[in-house]
Structure formats: C-alpha cells, structure tokens
A = this chain, B = another copy of it.
Amino acid sequence: MANIKEIAKLAGVSISTVSRVLNDHPYVSDEKRARVLETMKQLKYARNMNAVHLITGKTKSAAIMLPIINHAYFSALMEGIGGEALANHYRLVLCQTGYEQDKEREVLEMLRNREIDGIIILSTATPLEQIEEYCRYGPIVCCLEAGKRAFSSIFIDHSRAFRAAMEYLVAKGHRHIGFTVGRMDGPSSRARLEAYREVLSELGEPLREEWIIDGCVDMEDGAAIMKQLAAMSKRPSAMLVTGDHAAAGMLWEAGKLGISVPEQLAIIGFDNQPISGLLGLTTIDNRLMDMGAEAFRILFNHIQEPDQEPVQREVDFMFIERTSV
C-alpha cells in the first residue's frame, strides 16, 4: 500500500509537502497541492493513522467504562456521549466490565498505554483512590458523585433527589415506604440509604430491612420484586424504584396480581425513560443524555487543555409528576 514517501516521489515533491497537504497546512502552492492530491487519488492512498497516533501521542479516542451494555440507563448515557463525540470527531471505545475489577483495571491501563486519550466512567466497582492514580496518564470523567478528586465528575445529587421523592410521598400521606437499588455498595445507593434513614427518623418510623431491596436492575427484577412484596405480611404503601424499567416491571406485575397502583401501592421510578411516559409513571428525570453529552465535553476540554483543575459538576434533576402515586 502506498505511503507518503511514494506519493512524494511520484508527485515530485518532498515528504513534508505531502504531509502539509494531508494536514491542510497553509504554505503550500496550489499547484503542488493539486499534484499531490492527484497522485493520492491515483495510488488510492490511505493514511496510516497508527503512525499519526505514535508521533502525535494522541489517538482521538476515549474509552467508556461501563458494567453492562444492554441496559437503558447506560444506553441513554452513551447516546449523549456518542453524539458529542461524533461532533468532535472522537472515537468511543466500549469497555464492558461486568463490575470486575481486573477488567476495569485493563481499561485504566489503556490510558497508561496511550491507546486512548481519556476515559468516561459510567459506573465502577474499583475504589476511587485507585482510579485517581491513573489521572497522571490522562483525563478521567466519572458520571457519579465522587467528591473532590483528581478526576472530574458529573452527577445528580441522589441524596437530595431521593429526599424530594420521599417528601412527596409523605405529603401524599405515605408513611410506609420501601426502596430498591441496583447495587447496594454503589455510591448512589449509599446516598439513597442515608436520605432514607433521615426521613424515616424525622417521621419516627422504624427502618424495616425487608423494605430495602437490593439487586433490582431490570424489568424482570422489578416483576420478581413485586411478587416478593405481594407475599409480605406487611408491605409498604409506596416504593421508590431503582429505574423506570424496573418500576415498569413492578407496575405490570402489580396489575397481574390485582394490586392497584397507586391506590394499594404507589411507585416512583427513576431516569424518566420513554417507558415511564407511556405508563404514566411518576419519576425523577436525571437527564441522562445531557449528562452524557456534558461528560464528554468535560473530558474533551481536559484533553485540549491539560493541567486544568478537575471539575465537579452537578446536574439538576427534575421531579416528573404523573399518575403512579
């Protein structure tokens, strides 16, 4: 395959001139530019980007670290990231980790090995201190609340969002409230639990372990949990659910079990996914697409101007009132 050298020889110019044409540099005469372009076409020249990556030290690509691809939450974030990456001619490398720490480390190592210019972390099981160690190799942006760190983060205040939802339920007369999370040891789950404890103690209600349900991720989990709730001798009158798809599963299963929503069980979802609009699910919009897009913008900015201070950007959530409470 033809390379820059052959083009130069055939066009009767120097290698640098060819390179200049390739990079749209000024200071190359129209005549030579035309000649170079012509020979490129003749020889079907294709630039070897790996050589460019090597010499420039950049790859114009960023990794997305996420536990699982096939989930609406991550899809929505990715959609936002993807749009912005496209606009800036950046490639996105999809890194599915399944929350395995060695897989997650491999992604971080990619940064060290200059395979990518930066990383966007959607969710992780690796301790944040360990992630910070990689900041020296390139920018990292986390889509979760991480406090003041060496990397940037973008997030909604889960504690406040959860509180808002709780207070809404309380105002509607609920005192027996349960909630589900996807992974109890995640940071947003911890924030929710804390908010839950606070509101409960303000209400003077005891904390019932069986109303805190872990491992609620997708629609099928939601349905299973609804069955579980139905079998309880004393069940909550309202549930705050991990995400809208899980909530949709609960809603559907409730219908099958003859439990009416919101009369017998109020449900609040999360994420404002399309399905929630369709089902009339009250939910909290955390603006996933915007968040993804902004995450990429922050990363891109760090790549363009290194040595900038990391940022902690909070995204406002919105309470979407519909008919499931």
Contacts and interface: CB of A to CB of B under 8 A. Distances in A.
A43 interface: no
A70 B78 CA distance: 7
A93 B64 CA distance: 10
Contact of A61 (B86, B93, B113): B93
A70 B69 CA distance: 10
A48 interface: yes
Contacts of A223: 278
A285 to B, nearest CB: 15
Interface stretch (A49-57, A156-164, A258-266): A49-57
A48 B115 CA distance: 8
Nearest to A109: B46
B96 A94 contact: no
Contact of A112 (B46, B64, B70, B92): B46
A290 interface: no
Contact of A59 (B50, B68, B92): B50
A186 interface: no
Contacts of A215: none
A92 B78 CA distance: 14
Contacts of A79: 68-70, 96
A70 B74 CA distance: 9
A206 interface: no
Given A82-B94, A93-B92, A113 B46 contact: yes
A298 interface: no
A6 interface: no
Contact of A53 (B50, B57, B220): B50
A101 B94 CA distance: 23
A113 to B, nearest CB: 5
A271 interface: no
B275 A219 contact: yes
Contacts of A252: 278-279
A277 interface: yes
A76 B95 CA distance: 15
A32 interface: no
Given A48-B113, A69-B75, A70-B75, 19 more contacts: A46-B113, A46-B114, A49-B110, A49-B115, A50-B50, A50-B59, A50-B115, A53-B53, A61-B93, A70-B72, A70-B76, A86-B96, A91-B95, A91-B110, A91-B115, A92-B93, A218-B274, A219-B278, A220-B274
17 contacts: A48-B114, A50-B114, A51-B54, A54-B54, A64-B94, A69-B82, A70-B75, A70-B79, A71-B75, A86-B96, A91-B93, A92-B94, A94-B94, A218-B274, A219-B275, A220-B278, A253-B278
